[in-house]
Amino acid sequence: MPENAFSHVTTWVFDLDNTLYPPEARLFDQIEVRMTAWVMKALGVSQAEADRMRRDYWHDHGTTLSGLMRLHDVDPGPYLADVHEIDMSHLQRDPDLAAHIRDLPGRKIVFTNGSGPYAERVLEARGLSGLFAAIYGIEHAGFHPKPDRAAYDTVFGTDGLDPTRAAMFEDDPRNLIEPFAMGLRCVHVAPDPVEAPHVHHSTADLSGFLKALL
């Protein structure tokens, strides 16, 4: 990694799920169960059909919620509150990661397809509360999900960040396509690296990557 690759960065954008906590925590296992149950109850479909809708809507629309809103006119508020009501007691605090985020020069923000209150609970469980200038959930993006360009335009516009002076850390490589086009430095955070034109750097160890920057 070139020493000056991040020297221009004044705003650091972090995804939440499987980025600011390790995939082994498997929070989405709990969320997916609640998604399926919610869809079954709200739409009166079988478990198999609800599972299919959950997967297909995520693939086709960016999030299950986006598909439900577009195709079934679902009210996002009750859905977000229900599916994110999960147990986080097994999440471990990460003082090293907290220190490295704290030491980054400039502003730090969180931008997630989950809800803002859910993000706050995750950050608290991980010992990362108070490190971020702003936390943006999907409600702050007008319920446009990453990877839709409208989501980035809305959140980045609200935040006032300069995309050409920002970096983004994200576990889903498709969510880096638009940030790359906007001029952000893009880092894919996942156990398996991805080589793609819109990924500048890949790492399986966010804490170690940030430490190297510092």
The answer on pLDDT for 205 being more than 90 is yes
Tokens linked to 210: 């940030």
Q: How far is CA 197 from the centre of its chain?
A: 20
How does pLDDT run across 64-79, given as a tens digit for each residue? 998 999 999 999 999 9
- The single-letter code of the amino acid at 6 is F
β-pair partners for 58: none
Task: Write down the residue that tokens 């936390």 correspond to.
Answer: 135
In contact, 200 and 5? CB cutoff 8 Å: yes
Query: What was the pLDDT predicted at 2?
Result: 61
The answer on pLDDT for 109 being more than 80 is yes
Query: What was the pLDDT predicted at 62?
Result: 82
How does pLDDT run across 169-179, given as a tens digit for each residue? 999 999 999 99
Query: What was the pLDDT predicted at 136?
Result: 98
What's the whole-number mean pLDDT along residues 119-146?
97
Entry pTM: 0.93
Task: Return the HEC string of 28-94.
Answer: HHHHHHHHHHHHHHHHCCCHHHHHHHHHHHHHHHCCHHHHHHHHHCCCHHHHHHHHCCCCCCCCCCC
What's the whole-number mean pLDDT along residues 80-84?
94
- What single-letter DSSP state applies at residue 145? P
Query: What was the pLDDT predicted at 4?
Result: 85
- The percent of residues above 90 in pLDDT, for the chain, comes to 93
Instruction: Go through the domains of the chain in sequence order and give each one's CATH number.
Output: 11-21+92-213 (3.40.50.1000), 27-83 (1.10.150.450)
- The single-letter code of the amino acid at 84 is H
Radius of gyration of the chain (CA): 17
Pick from 21, 35, 17, 72: nearest CA to 207: 21
In contact, 205 and 192? CB cutoff 8 Å: no
How does the average pLDDT of the chain come out, rounded? 95
